[in-house]
């Protein structure tokens, strides 16, 4: 079956690029001759790409499944794979071609469709020598740098989420692609996630080089284009690129061993050259929005958190009674929600509908018991607002706190624990109103300390870091929350550590079906919540 004129993405994810409203013959693969002759179309194609990326990265699919797989949020609903992917014992990914509520099918197609559109624009610049001018000023390199950035972060998402995929750049000769018998067989282009990761970083480095060598401004006043709501200089854009390189380097690790093997010195350098304020594009209905944030804090009537709530595995380590430890040691299908007591100001404890800074307490069993009482919790998330706040205003997806705590992890791994403690205490003290942690661990005497280990002891500096990153990350980016749980080795046993290539794509490629998780390949080993990873040398680590 010949596929002449289609990119890999055009084959695998039909129809997505039609959303870009370009006047092209085939919406799945904009005609290169038409695009290359229209500078305005090329700029529109590239400048609108981040919006498409954002709306998928912050969508309910796969974010809600990722969050519940990481025991960050919990839900009694089957929508978007939340129930299916978070029940215990963990099940394998349903990778049937028409699997209902599949959390992994749409993202694969969307990210590659975004890449295909960007590649068409980049090809017009690199192969056809197209130049883009605005008001007499040549802004071609602005489009080029932005296109390489979106190309890189899209491949980065594939590398983080899937076991394998394609590297698709503007230099690929798409005219030779076919399903079999020709010069380039599509399935022969499959590469493991490590190759996709390295390619994503290389594409971001190309964006970094172009942005550093050129002086330009990304307009923030065009809804749906560039980075909506944020006017960004090329220097500020360089910082954003550094940040995403650091994230991809760390978040692609599948195990504690892979996470330990990351070049943490290089990660820290990228973070030090990265963002200095939260990265929060401005949402607007139907253009740029986060349905993940909406459902993580939804309140339609009087009951807050009526779709998803905060898992006890996030807030439980803050408990200064033994209620959380008793809950944890109860079989999953027999667990019951309970009230914790904690001095952490971010967590409400006092009475029904009490709101801490981030997490409120509300006694309501809103999900059917036959869906698993282990899903139930009295804690709801409200930090980023409720009702319609997810639709407009800044929508944070990378915070300074995240990068501080990622840097702190690197410092601990490099034997610079005192510096790490200072970074952990920035949010621990200011937001949690907790006493500063030191290299000796969490201050206080059990049970009056936060966080505690599951054996009842006060946590080490490592446990404080992990707790801090978990609670500061709720509702920001589920991909990061899942990647942390995976890289720290705290996923529930047999949780998928990554998704397989979707079944409908395997069928198209005439590849045999397979899945991940549930005891199949790509299943998480039994977690060890109290033990520190190998190579971590701080007090309280065994």
> What backbone torsions phi and psi does residue 217 show, to the nearest 5 degrees?
-130, 130
Cβ-proximal residues to 301 (8 Å cutoff; 6+ apart), any chain: none
The two beta strands, 309-310 and 354-355, are unpaired
**Which of 514, 489, 516, 17 has the alpha carbon at shortest distance from 260?**
489
**Calculated CA dihedral for residues 251, 252, 254, 255, nearest 10 degrees:** -50
Check residue 34 and give its pLDDT: 43
**Residue 355: strand pairing partners:** 360
The ranges assigned to domains in the chain are: 8-283, 298-383
> CA 67, CA 53: separation in Å to the nearest integer?
19
Most confident of 96-105, 179-188, 461-470: 461-470
Please check whether residue 30 is in contact with residue 24, taking contact to mean a CB–CB distance below 8 angstroms: yes
Taking each helix axis as running N to C, give the angle between helix 461-473 and helix 478-488, from 0 to 180 degrees, rounded to the nearest 10: 160
Chain segment 260-305, per-residue pLDDT in tens: 999 999 999 999 999 999 999 999 988 999 999 988 888 888 888 8
Q: Does residue 180 have a pLDDT over 60?
A: no
**Cα distances (angstroms) measured from residue 185 to each of 29, 87, 189, 362, 387:** 19, 39, 7, 56, 48
Three-state secondary structure call for residue 283: strand
When pLDDT is averaged across residues 476-492 and rounded to a whole number, the result is 97
Mean pLDDT check: name the lowest of 66-80, 114-128, 166-180, 250-264: 166-180
Q: What distance in Å separates the CA atoms of residue 172 and residue 249, rounded to the nearest whole number?
A: 24
pLDDT in tens, 34-71: 454 689 999 999 999 999 999 999 999 999 999 999 99
Question: Distance between CA 156 and CA 244 in Å, rounded?
Answer: 9
C-alpha–C-alpha distance, residues 407 and 109, integer Å: 32
Task: Return the bridge partners of 379, or none.
Answer: 361
Residue whose pair of structure tokens reads 């009842």 in the numeric block: 456
Least confident range of 10-24, 366-380, 460-474: 10-24
DSSP H or E segment with residue 218 = strand 217-218
Which of these ranges, 160-174, 207-221, 469-483, has the smallest mean pLDDT?
Answer: 160-174
| Segment 78-94 mean pLDDT | 91
Q: How confident is the model at residue 177 (pLDDT cuts 50, 70, 90)?
A: low
Cα dihedral 444, 450, 455, 459, rounded to 10, equals -70
Rounded CA-CA distance 53/64 in Å is: 17
Burial class (CB in 10 A: 0-12, 13-18, 19+), 512: exposed
pLDDT at 389 over 70: no
Across 340-364, average pLDDT: 87
The pLDDT of residue 183 is 52
- Contacts of 191 by beta carbon, 8 Å cutoff, 6+ apart: 164, 165, 166, 167
Closest C-alpha among 251, 370, 369, 359 to residue 308: 359
- Of residues 275 and 80, which shows the higher confidence score? 275
Query: Which ranges in 431-477 belong to alpha helices (H)?
Result: 461-473
Residue 218's pLDDT is 97
Over residues 533-541, the mean pLDDT reads 87
Q: Class of 8-283 per CATH?
A: mainly alpha
Inform me whether the pLDDT recorded for 243 exceeds 80. Answer: yes
- What's the pTM? 0.93
| Per-residue model confidence (pLDDT) at position 510 | 85
Nearest-CA neighbor of 122 among 136, 135, 134, 140? 140
Of the pLDDT bands very low, low, confident and very high (cuts 50, 70, 90), residue 353 is low
Query: What local confidence, expressed as pLDDT, does residue 391 receive?
Result: 72
Mean pLDDT of the chain: 89
Of the candidate ranges 1-10, 198-207, 411-420, the one whose mean pLDDT is the lowest: 1-10
């Amino acid at each position: 079956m010949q596929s002449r004129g289609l990119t890999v993405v055009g084959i695998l994810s039909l129809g997505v690029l039609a959303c870009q409203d370009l006047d092209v013959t085939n919406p799945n693969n904009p005609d290169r001759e038409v695009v290359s002759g229209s500078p305005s179309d090329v700029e529109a194609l590239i400048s609108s790409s981040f919006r498409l990326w954002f709306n998928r990265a912050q969508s309910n699919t796969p974010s809600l499944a990722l969050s519940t797989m990481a025991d960050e949020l919990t839900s009694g609903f089957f929508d978007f794979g939340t129930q299916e992917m978070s029940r215990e014992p963990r099940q394998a990914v349903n990778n049937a071609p028409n699997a209902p509520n599949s959390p992994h099918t749409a993202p694969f197609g969307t990210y590659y469709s975004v890449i295909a559109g960007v590649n068409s624009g980049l090809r017009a610049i690199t192969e056809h020598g197209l130049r883009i001018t605005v008001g007499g000023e040549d802004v071609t390199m602005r489009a080029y740098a932005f296109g390489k950035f979106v190309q890189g972060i899209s491949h980065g998402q594939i590398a983080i989420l899937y076991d394998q995929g394609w590297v698709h750049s503007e230099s690929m000769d798409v005219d030779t692609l076919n399903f079999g018998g020709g010069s380039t067989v599509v399935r022969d282009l499959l590469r493991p996630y490590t190759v996709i990761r390295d390619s994503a970083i290389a594409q971001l480095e190309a964006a970094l080089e172009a942005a550093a060598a050129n002086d330009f401004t990304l307009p923030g006043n065009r809804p749906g284009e560039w980075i909506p709501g944020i006017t960004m200089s090329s220097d500020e854009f360089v910082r954003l690129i550094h940040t995403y390189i650091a994230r991809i380097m760390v978040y692609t690790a599948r195990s504690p061993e892979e996470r330990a093997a990351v070049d943490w010195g290089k990660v820290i350098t990228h973070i030090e050259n990265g963002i200095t304020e939260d990265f929060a594009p401005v949402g607007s209905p139907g253009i740029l929005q986060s349905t993940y944030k909406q459902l993580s804090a939804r309140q339609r009537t009087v009951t807050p958190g009526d779709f998803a709530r905060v898992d006890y595995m996030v807030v439980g380590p803050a408990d200064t009674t033994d209620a959380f430890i008793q809950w944890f040691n109860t079989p999953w299908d027999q667990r019951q929600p309970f009230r914790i007591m904690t001095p952490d100001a971010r967590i409400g404890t006092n009475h029904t509908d009490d709101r801490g800074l981030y997490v409120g307490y509300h006694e309501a069993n809103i999900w059917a018991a036959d869906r698993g009482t282990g899903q139930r919790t009295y804690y709801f998330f409200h930090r980023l607002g409720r009702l319609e706040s997810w639709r407009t205003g800044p929508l944070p997806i990378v915070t300074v706190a995240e990068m501080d705590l990622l840097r702190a992890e690197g410092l601990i791994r490099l034997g610079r624990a005192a510096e790490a403690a200072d970074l952990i205490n920035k949010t621990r003290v200011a937001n949690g109103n907790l006493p500063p942690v030191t290299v000796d661990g969490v201050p206080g005497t059990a049970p009056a300390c936060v966080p505690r280990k599951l054996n009842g002891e006060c946590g080490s500096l490592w446990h404080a870091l992990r707790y801090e990153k978990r609670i500061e990350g709720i509702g920001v980016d589920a991909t990061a929350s899942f990647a942390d749980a995976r890289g720290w080795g705290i996923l529930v046993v047999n949780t998928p550590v990554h998704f397989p290539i979707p079944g409908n794509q395997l069928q198209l490629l005439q590849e045999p079906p397979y899945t991940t998780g549930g005891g199949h390949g790509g299943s998480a080993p039994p977690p060890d919540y109290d033990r520190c990873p190998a190579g971590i040398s701080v007090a309280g680590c065994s």
